[in-house]
Structure 1
């Protein structure tokens, strides 16, 4: 059994504004058709796209130091740097 409320496809069609408003506010639903569960409506995770300068500075103070030589060696080991013919399959 689903932990979230079930709504029928018809409910979704008839009450779409109400249901989508609920999803926008954090609610989740399982959608059914002919008594069978066919999908879930879940809110998208909200991603922050901007971190302020002060917050970035505070986070940076506690970040581990990066050894540039070790970092470059890791890159070299992970990527094949040899040239290849783009037309060679």
Structure 2
């Protein structure tokens, strides 16, 4: 899908109309002196639901986590003592 081109001047003069179009999902390439200088596109909205298939597909590219190394890193970074929480806060 190619973006519609708009000049910097059009953007300045028709900003409300163009922003309304962006809000509806349209994208634009902004030009100055006939050459592209930037893109104007809608923000991606966070997805609330991820299908099992999409999760599985994304998970395939995740790094393998060594649980023992993770536990060692956590223990090294955080005091895991079970002492009194109020006493620890006063230290």
TM-score by length of 2: 0.56
SS state at 1:39 partner = strand
Structure 1 position 8 matched with structure 2 position 3: no
Q: What is the CA distance between 1:14 and its match in structure 2?
A: 0.2
> What is the aligned length?
63
What is the Cα-based RMSD across aligned positions, in Å?
3.1
Q: What is the CA distance between 1:3 and its match in structure 2?
A: 1.2
Q: Runs ≥4 in structure 1, deviation > 6 angstroms?
A: none
Q: What is the CA distance between 1:72 and its match in structure 2?
A: 4.8
Gaps of 5+ in 1: 60-69, 83-89
The match for 1:37 is 36
The match for 2:70 is 75
SS state at 1:3 partner = coil
Distance in 2, Cα, partners of 1:45 & 1:18: 20
TM-score by length of 1: 0.57
Distance in 1, Cα, partners of 2:69 & 2:7: 52
Gaps of 5+ in 2: 53-64, 78-91
Structure 1 position 28 matched with structure 2 position 27: yes
Q: What is the CA distance between 1:73 and its match in structure 2?
A: 2.0
